[in-house]
A = this chain, B = another copy of it.
Amino acid sequence: MRADAARNRALLLAAAEAAFAEHGLDVSVADIAQRAGIGKGTVFRHFPTKEDLLAEVMLDRVHALTGTGERLLTAEDPGAALLEFLTLAADRQQQHDLSVLRDAPAVNERLAGARIRMFGLIDALVDRAREAGAIRTDVTGTDVALLMCAPGHVAAFAPHGGPDLWRRYLAIIFDGLRPEGARPLPVRAPSLG
């Protein structure tokens, strides 16, 4: 890839990430292009559809998170490792949520694969934490995968919240996973098929 094309691609992805984060999926491609300082047509040269651009943005997030998270599999304290992973996740996700992942399989094979890999990682982290007695026994990896975005989402509701507010809600939610005094959860855990 030519140097200038690579530069434009990077500018584009950065602009897209910021734009999706600020305005959600409804930002126009034209806006993203302008933010990136490139022409509209250039966006489509790099990504054939807007959806593909979004998928790439998500893919980058998911890859980075999974890569970092996999190192936590060998951490000494499984409970702390899980919390660390959720902290990383919420930090990255602070800007915009992962809800696109729900429809990942329909969007893009690579994104679907990245999702599977990340969910596998989460399952492993949760299993280790459960076996170590750090979290309640009736919580599954899928539960945690679903809860993962909640801190950022909750914090986004607060109009005057600082950029670290999500830490507060992650603490509450993670406390909800602790085993002491936990009563059995209602409703069966979902699968992520």
Contact = CB atoms under 8 A, between A and B. Distances in A.
Interface stretch (A15-23, A121-129, A153-161): A153-161
A28 to B, nearest CB: 14
A142 B186 CA distance: 26
Interface string A152-193: 011101111110110111011111111011110111111111
A186 B175 CA distance: 12
A164 B181 contact: no
A102 interface: yes
Contacts of A177: 172, 175-176
Contacts of A162: 187-188, 190
A22 B139 CA distance: 28
A150 interface: yes
A192 B103 CA distance: 33
Interface in A94-132: 99, 102-103
A70 interface: no
Interface of A: 99, 102-103, 139, 142-143, 146-147, 149-150, 153-155, 157-162, 164-165, 167-169, 171-178, 180-183, 185-193
24 contacts: A102-B157, A143-B168, A147-B169, A149-B154, A150-B150, A150-B154, A150-B169, A153-B153, A159-B192, A160-B193, A161-B190, A162-B188, A168-B186, A168-B187, A168-B189, A172-B173, A172-B177, A174-B176, A175-B177, A175-B182, A175-B183, A178-B181, A180-B181, A181-B181
Given A172-B176, A173-B173, 14 more contacts: A143-B169, A143-B172, A146-B169, A149-B157, A150-B169, A162-B188, A165-B187, A167-B186, A167-B187, A168-B189, A175-B182, A176-B177, A178-B181, A180-B181
